[in-house]
Amino acid sequence: MKFIAEIDVMPLKEILDPQGKAVTGSMKNLGLSEIHNVRIGKHITLEIDAETEAAAKEKVDLACQKLLANLIMEQYHFTLHQA
């Protein structure tokens, strides 16, 4: 079966996110000063062939832990659905 994973990789909440901080600051230039605490991560989609949803989940976990996220600095979560 083919599954699609939608993965979000975000900086750990206790870690400084300089990019999010700069974007937060710029919101007031746009007249949107009610927006705060912007944090910026990555959204990744991928397709995966697996027998079961559990097997697909295991593989996506591995991909996230080994490559897609740097667990020292980032956390990830994802949703899976059948293609």
Partner 1 sequence: MEHLELTTVETAKDLGLLPEEFEKIKEILGRTPNFNELSIFAVMWSEHCSYKNSIVWLKTLPKEGARMLAKAGEENAGLVDIGDGLACCFKIESHNHPSALEPYQGAATGVGGINRDIFTMGARPVAQLNSLRFGDINLDRTKWLVKGVVKGIGDYGNAFGIPTVGGEVFFDESFNVNPLVNAMSAGIVKVGETVSATSYGVGNPVYIVGSATGKDGIHGAAFASKDITEDSVNDLPSVQVGDPFQEKLLLEATLEVIQSGAVVGMQDMGAAGIICSNSEMSAKGEHGMRIDLDKVPTRQENMKPWEILLSESQERMLIVVEKGKEAIVEAIFDKWDLNCAIIGEVTDTKRLHYYMHGTLVADVPAEDLVLGGGAPVYHREYREPAYMAEHNAFKIEDIKQPENLKEVADHLISHPNIASKRWVYNQYDSMVGTLNMTTNRPSDAGVVDVRGTDKALALTVDCNSRYVYANPEEGCAIAVAEAARNIVCAGGEPVAITNCLNFGNPYIPEVYWQFVSAIKGMSKACTKFETPVTGGNVSFYNQSSDEGPVFPTPTIGMLGVLDNKKTLTTIDFKNAGDAIYLIGESQNDIAASQYLASYHKVDKYPAPYFNLDKEYDMHQAIKGLIKEELVASVHDVADGGLFIALFESAMHNGLGFEIESDDTIRKDAFLFGEAQGRVVVSVKPEQQEAFVEFMSTNEVEFSLLGTVTESNEMIIDEESFGKVPAVKQVYDNVLHGYLGE
Partner 2 sequence: MKFGVVVFPGSNCDQDAINLFGNVLGQKVVPLWHKDHDLQGCDFIVLPGGFSYGDYLRSGAIARFSPIMKEVIDFANKGGYLMGICNGFQVLGEAGLVPGALLHNDNRKFICKNVYLKTQTQNSLITAQVDLDKALKIPIAHGEGKYYADADTLKMVNDNDQVLFRYCDENGNITAESNPNGSLENIAGVCNKNRNVFGMMPHPERASDSILANQDGLALFESILQAVL
Angstrom distance (rounded) from CA 29 to CA 7: 31
22 binds partner 2 (CB under 8 A): yes
Tokens representing 13 are: 């909440």
Direct distance between the N- and C-terminal alpha carbons of the chain, in angstroms, rounded to an integer: 8
By CB under 8 A, is residue 30 in contact with partner 1? no
- Please identify, using beta-carbon distances, which residue of 26 and 65 lies nearer to partner 2: 26
What phi and psi, each to the nearest 5 degrees, are found at residue 57? -60, -40
Determine if 65 is a binding residue for partner 1 (CB under 8 A). no
Selection from partner 2, partner 1, none that 29 binds (CB < 5 to 8 A by kind) is: partner 2
- Asked if residues 35 and 20 have their Cβ atoms less than 8 Å apart, the reply is no
Region near partner 1 per CB under 8 A, out of 15-23, 44-52, 59-67, 75-83 = 15-23
Q: Taking CB within 5 to 8 Å according to partner kind, which of partner 2, partner 1, none is near residue 79?
A: none
